[in-house]
Amino acid sequence: MNKPDPKNQYIVPRHLAIIMDGNHRWARQKGLPSDEGHRYGAKNVRPIAENCADAGVQYLTFFAFSTENWNRPKAEIDLLFSLVSETIDRELQTLHERDAKVRFIGDRRAFPKRLQKHMRDCEEQTRENKSLFLNIAMNYGGRWDVVNAARLFLEDVVANGEEVTDLTESSFKNYLATSIAPEPELCIRTGGDQRVSNFLLWDLSYTELYFTKTYWPDFSAAHLHEAFLDFTRRQRRFGARQRTLSEESH
């Protein structure tokens, strides 16, 4: 974990995960078509990513499209895919100049070929960058990740003659799509719902959860800093009980 920021006096998580929720409700509240909620939400990715980088976040993971999102109307899914491509076209150069390394996690095989190419090109152009590791979860689900990791491990067992008993928590982590980053210290969910919705199930074991009623298109740097301040006040014990003053004095 990073040290407290001397200016703002809060601790910044090394890895921050964000569930971007509330686009539909934001548009309805504004009297706008639901499509506009997604458009404004897509435009909010870069400024939040830049604020995270400025604050000292090293790894940032956005939940953009879940395995369950395929249940939405086709028109909405097509719009979401178009917005991802448009966002890459619009923001890639700026993110590259900010030394951000962009990676997509999830099963991208079901995406349109054009979108898959956009994703590959984005990863290739930014692959040498090191200031911010920006992960976009697309067609990602925590259960899918665990099952896929188990499948990959069993393939190694068959191909390399490994023993099933060799599997440990640390070695299993290497098979997950999320192996590219450390476990998040903090996960923010916008929009008011208080659940993780099949996001990073393995990795969120001891992650601090922060829920805000603010819809994603309205989530600003000020809201981000409020989350960091709340995170700073928490005591992360990882299953151990808090030590008392008398215990600490001995």
Give SS3 for 143: helix
Contact status, residue 184 vs residue 200, Cβ threshold 8 Å? yes
Q: How far apart, in Å, are the Cα atoms of 215 and each of 38, 60, 193? A: 11, 19, 10
Q: Which of 229, 198, 227 lies closest to 211, judged by CA?
A: 227
E strands of 171-215, at which residues? 186-189, 208-211
Cβ proximity of 231 and 210 under 8 Å: yes
**Within a 13 Å sphere around the CA of 83, how many CA atoms are in the beta-carbon half?**
20
Could you tell me if 50 and 134 are in contact, meaning their C-beta atoms sit under 8 angstroms apart?
no
How far is the C-alpha of 87 from the C-alpha of 64, rounded, in Å? 12
161 phi and psi, to 5 degrees? Answer: 70, 25
If phi > 0 it is left, if psi is from -120 to 50 it is alpha, else beta; for residue 40 that is alpha
Residues taking part in catalysis: 21, 69
Composition of the chain by helix, strand, coil, percent to 5? 50, 15, 35
- Residue 178 CA to residue 208 CA, distance in Å, equals 17
